[in-house]
Amino acid sequence: MPDEKKTDNASPAPDIVTFGCRLNTYESEIMRAHAREAGLEDVIIFNTCAVTAEAERQARQAIRKARREHPDKKIIVTGCAAQVKPELFAEMPEIDRIIGNDLKLKPESWHPAQKDRLLIEDIMDVKETAAHLVEGFEGKSRAFVQVQNGCDHRCTFCIIPYGRGPSRSVPIGEIAKQVQSLVVSGYKEIVLTGVDVTSYGHDLPGRPSLGQMIRRVLNLTPDLPRLRLSSLDPVEIDEDLWALIADEPRLMPHLHLSMQAGDDMILKRMKRRHLRADLYAVCERARALRPDIVFGADIIAGFPTETEDMFENTCRAVTECNLTWLHVFPYSAREGTPAAKMPQLKRGIVKDRAARLREIGAAQAEKFMRAEHGKIRQIIMEHDGAGRTEHFAQVRPDHVLPAGELARVRIEKCTGENLRAKIVSR
């Protein structure tokens, strides 16, 4: 899902502007290494996102601005928006090259001898996810590791499968190697990422489950203090993963659920695999296994045909399941998806519902943070002088430690936005 634009230009390597998800952030590091090896300098790479029309608009706007500010630099565009709509970027004279989502990960696509302006493959033909060893993440204290790519589902609102292709998993050995090399580089928290991580292993010999993979990787990397999961399909959590939730302290007590809505009719029209009752059952089971667990959730506000009552069902699910960290997305029609052909709600209603959900989300987060008062938590320091607890709460400790460091803190105050704490040990 799109969030803030990130730009890194620490060394004479290319500037990389990354939009969207953690998977894009991971892949930007792979492209940085390929471009460096190819000796590419004076290049700006845009790794785009296609999840909303807004994400596409932001990328085009940023490209035009970059061209104005850097008339002499080469501009290369890749990512999901370039894969789904190459023509949208091919028509822009500001751009020197457009590379597809799988070809962006291949060193030859960055070779100076490569002269083609359009390097786009049929992403549906991609069957494997080649493993890459990323050395680190510039400006990040937590590292992302790709375990899976693509998606075989067809949720009616979603364009991602057309940008990322079929679901494919990275073999366990490769994941363990990547995690180990990041631990050796000093990373103390790893976030496993993908597009549909709960479909992990379906395409591998022996069909290892997501839970089996995680247990194996943790056994092979005993020095890794913290492992966090990215978005999970609520009804596709496997029994091995449930066991880990119950007994693995290094697995952070924070599950981010791809919830999308809390009304059965809307979930059916979205072609999701879960219903409202499943969501409640997942939260109840997780809390029974790990009482301090917290939940985040992706929710779409204003999906076509959503009535006020259906919306209220979603709002109630948030409070009744006691979800804490909400990512709210105003519905955005994506050309080529079935939902774009359904009767659309007025934009004002979509925006209003998104605002109301965000308010509920803010109240839920504050409720959680107020209850943290006096508790002892472990934080990992980030680059902005704040840290993240095991439950993903943002904490400002009484003195700043180097990014990436772990420390035990006692929570002393909630400011509504974040927590203040006293460092008790390191």
| Interface residue list for ligand SF4 (CB under 6 A) | 151, 153-155, 158, 160-161, 195-196, 258
Characterise 201 by phi-psi region: left (phi > 0), alpha (psi -120 to 50), beta (else).
left
User: Alpha carbon of 187 to those of 67, 149, 340: distances in Å?
Assistant: 35, 23, 42
163/404 with CB nearer ligand SF4:
163
Check if the beta carbon of residue 49 is closer than 8 Å to that of residue 79: yes
- Torsions phi, psi of 202, nearest 5? -60, -25
Please state the closest distance from residue 154 (CB atom) to ligand SF4, in A. 6
Please state the closest distance from residue 196 (CB atom) to ligand SF4, in A. 5
> Position of tokens 């709002």?
315
Please state the closest distance from residue 224 (CB atom) to ligand SF4, in A. 27
79/161 with CB nearer ligand SF4:
161
Q: Which of 214, 64, 219 is nearest to 147 (CA)?
A: 214
User: Alpha carbon of 401 to those of 10, 23, 190, 385, 396: distances in Å?
Assistant: 22, 28, 19, 7, 10
44 vs 62: CA distance, rounded Å: 11
How big is the chain, counted in residues?
426
276 vs 263: CA distance, rounded Å: 6
Please state the closest distance from residue 272 (CB atom) to ligand SF4, in A. 7
Please state the closest distance from residue 148 (CB atom) to ligand SF4, in A. 11
141/260 with CB nearer ligand SF4:
260
Burial of 426 (0-12, 13-18, 19+ CB in 10 A): exposed
Q: Give a three-class secondary structure readout of 75-142.
A: EEEEEHHHHHCHHHHHCCCCCCEEECCCHHHCHHHHCCCCCCCEECCCHHHCCCCCCCCCCCCCCCCC
Tokens describing residue 104: 């962006």
Check if the beta carbon of residue 354 is closer than 8 Å to that of residue 328: yes
154/268 with CB nearer ligand SF4:
154
Strand order in the sheet with 325-330: 254-260, 294-301, 325-330
Please state the closest distance from residue 302 (CB atom) to ligand SF4, in A. 16
Please state the closest distance from residue 409 (CB atom) to ligand SF4, in A. 35
Please state the closest distance from residue 158 (CB atom) to ligand SF4, in A. 3
